[in-house]
Structure 1
Amino acid sequence: MPDRQRADARRNYTRILAVAKEEVAANGAGASLEQIARTAGVGSATVRRHFPTRRALLEAVSRDWIEALCVRAQDLTGRDDSRNALLEWLSEVIAYGVSVRGLAAALAYDGARADLVENSCSAALEEAAGPLLRHAVQDGTVATGVTVGDLITLVVGIVLATEHNPDPATRADELFRLAVAGLSPQP
């Protein structure tokens, strides 16, 4: 939100964002923009002026969580066991994705529009986790050619696939462990 906005516009933005956080927490990424507008006491045009797309709204709602995950990636960078540091961070991204409704949708690329619309949430995580992945690749514990974008896509897929499971956190963790271990039997 630009600092040069009028005071009433800043208040509207703040109120809309607070209501949107509650609505997304209750109803996920499909939260009704019209309901957000009604609850915030503004018109739907005001919501769309501040958040022109659903993605913009989800990104704003998820900003604090994304920042926390970025800080966590930085904290884990430089650990002796680079693979475990990367896996620990990815597990935390999954845990946030399961517990914070709407976060996986905010991280997901927008299909055919992925080349046209930058996903600021994923871009922030890619930048923050880049050093984690580079260390693991340099140490030979993660295959070359893997990108943070690949890993975020995997995490988003796991979170979205398990969101309606009776115990989504446990199921998401199981699927993540399967993806990490692969399908081959362990010796």
Structure 2
Amino acid sequence: MQAYTGISTINAAIGGLHVGDMLVQLIFFIILLVLLRKYAWGPIMGMMQKREEYIASEIEAAEKSRAEAEKASQEATKQLKQTKQEAQKIIEDAKSAGVKQEQEIIQSARNEADRIKLAAQEEIQNEKEKAIQALQDQVASLSVLIASKVIEKEISAQDQEKLINEYIKEVGEER
């Protein structure tokens, strides 16, 4: 047994290491490693893997969101530019329509003024003709009256002038 104790104790003078104790400690260490691997290392690595996947998916989602935001920004810029062009075209169309309408109104007003002017000239001409006709009628009636008076009596030059003046006064009073 002494040989066994000699083998089981290696270098007892240094600290007295026993092989049996080392084997027991090695077995407990291996059991501890297996238990740690099964109950701690596996779940910890699983959680770390899930965390890594979560972070990777978040980074991917953030990149995707950034790309979508950039695309939306470009589309918004494009739409804004298109809207500005359309608004400018509408403004130009409205200006040209306004100028055209202004010219039409001016032309219409000129045509109406010409029509009114012609109507007034025609009315003036008609009134002038009526006044001439009325004057001719009065002159004719005066001539008839004077002639009838002359026929009734012969008058001297003074009486004739006096008679004419009286008839002119009568015609003036009739008006």
Fold in common (TM above 0.5): no
Q: Which has the higher contact order (CA 8 A, sep 6+)?
A: 1
Which bracket does the TM-score occupy, shorter chain normalised?
under 0.3
Q: TM-score, normalised by structure 1?
A: 0.18
Q: TM-score, normalised by structure 2?
A: 0.19
Higher helix residue share = 2
